[in-house]
A and B are shown apart, each in its own frame.
Chain A
Amino acid sequence: DVKVTQSSRYLVKRTGEKVFLECVQDMDHENMFWYRQDPGLGLRLIYFSYDVKMKEKGDIPEGYSVSREKKERFSLILESASTNQTSMYLCASSTITRKTDTQYFGPGTRLTVL
């Protein structure tokens, strides 16, 4: 079974803090993704990566950056957290080797910025 883990289930931070959200997958997947999910807005893609040290902007990259130093790990960074970044953050991974786009999600991190 594919396993995607995220470093925290719940996180509370203060405005202006630097926040790191970590994601690890154990299936040697090439692609990794960060989404945020908000009521009424659905899942929105922040950034994705298709290889180590590669990153691509998604639909809402403003205020975020990412890092992928190892294949299995993809980090989302909020350089200076703001209250409008309070959300559920979901990491996902997928492989291209089976010619499928199926994405497997981690359990999510519910971030509250005060």
Chain B
Amino acid sequence: RKEVEQDPGPFNVPEGATVAFNCTYSNSASQSFFWYRQDCRKEPKLLMSVYSSGNEDGRFTAQLNRASQYISLLIRDSKLSDSATYLCVVNTGYSTLTFGKGTMLLVSP
């Protein structure tokens, strides 16, 4: 069964905090990995791709552990505008993606 599992949260953090989300996936043949962000009542948007060597985009760092089938997202110096649901996404076949159910982040002043 194709599955991507995430802690639904919510994660409540103050501004400036560092927060980390984790995700596990079951399909060992998966080749592409992503984090998407979804604001309330909006469509998902790509936050960043996740590469085997790990990658960083400003305050966001993504890591992939293929052996453990585990993906992480680290957000440093959280902003109020980071409040959203973060979806872990894994390729599961010809151009098809499987989405986790998302982790909700709430950043408070």
Contact = CB atoms under 8 A, between A and B. Distances in A.
B59 interface: no
A43 B91 contact: no
A94 B95 contact: yes
A12 to B, nearest CB: 17
Given A31-B95, A42-B99, A43-B44, A100 B87 contact: no
Interface size on A, as a range, is 20 to 34
Nearest to B34: A102
Contacts of B87: 42-43
A45 interface: yes
Contact of B101 (A40, A105, A108): A40
Interface in B62-109: 87, 91, 94-102
Interface string A65-82: 000000000000000000
Contacts of A108: 42-43
Interface of B: 32, 34, 42-46, 49, 87, 91, 94-102
16 contacts: A33-B96, A35-B99, A40-B101, A42-B87, A42-B100, A42-B102, A43-B44, A45-B96, A50-B94, A90-B44, A101-B32, A101-B91, A101-B95, A101-B97, A104-B46, A105-B45
Given A43-B87, A101-B95, 14 more contacts: A42-B99, A42-B100, A45-B98, A50-B94, A90-B44, A96-B95, A101-B32, A101-B91, A101-B97, A102-B46, A103-B46, A104-B46, A106-B43, A107-B42
Interface of A: 31, 33, 35, 40-43, 45, 48, 50, 58, 90, 94, 96, 100-108
